[in-house]
Amino acid sequence: MKAIRYILLFGFGLIFLTGCFHDDTEYQKAVQEETKIIPDQIANNIQVIFFDSASTKAVLTAARAEVFNNTSITQLKGGVKVEYFSKTTGKRLSLLTSDSATIDDKSKDMFAYGNVYVLSDSTGVTLRTHTLAWNNTKQIIYSNDFITLKTATETINGSGFESNLNLSNYKIYKVTGIKQ
């Protein structure tokens, strides 16, 4: 009888101990997923100056930058401001502001989000929209969202937009209203 008790006690103890050991691959996967979304670099109150040869091409400022090496993405948060300059004269061509932005570090394309505003110093044209993208290869800005473009003589509303950086050669794809 004593031997049966010891065998049962040993058996329950063994069951108890093996129950304490579990496969932690799910936990490891969760930790790996969590670490993927943590930025590799964080900087506050940043200013980045972009050069083309010896001249300033653009100056970017933001409250916070988060760099993700795995995805080659940089997130900009809090009052993003980009000033673009003429290579020949050095004067400011245009100003872009937004709540936040994402930069593809490989292609150098930029996507601005929230209260996007563009002012062209040379033409006096302004643009307002919720999202705006910069295609670095084509050197154009574009949006598929609703936009409001103001010139000295008219205000144009529409959806879908494409332009050069100084807003002198623009296309609005679905015009919904013009006010003169």
Q: What is the mean pLDDT of the chain?
A: 84
**Cα–Cα distance measured from residue 14 to residue 120, given in angstroms and rounded to the nearest whole number:** 76
pTM: 0.75
Residue 80 banded pLDDT, cuts 50, 70, 90: very high
Residue 3 banded pLDDT, cuts 50, 70, 90: low
The mean per-residue pLDDT over the stretch 112-129 comes to: 94
Q: Please give the single-letter amino acid code of residue 58.
A: A
Q: Flag whether pLDDT at 68 surpasses 80.
A: yes
- Report pLDDT digits (tens) over 124-169: 999 999 999 999 999 899 999 999 999 989 999 999 999 998 898 9
φ, ψ for residue 51, nearest 5 deg: -110, 150
Q: Flag whether pLDDT at 112 surpasses 90.
A: yes
The mean per-residue pLDDT over the stretch 31-45 comes to: 76
Could you tell me if 85 and 56 are in contact, meaning their C-beta atoms sit under 8 angstroms apart? yes
The mean per-residue pLDDT over the stretch 114-126 comes to: 93
pLDDT at res. 21: 47
The mean per-residue pLDDT over the stretch 10-38 comes to: 56
Q: Flag whether pLDDT at 75 surpasses 70.
A: yes
> Which residues, including other chains, have CB under 8 Å from residue 25's CB and lie 6 or more apart?
none
pLDDT at res. 24: 58
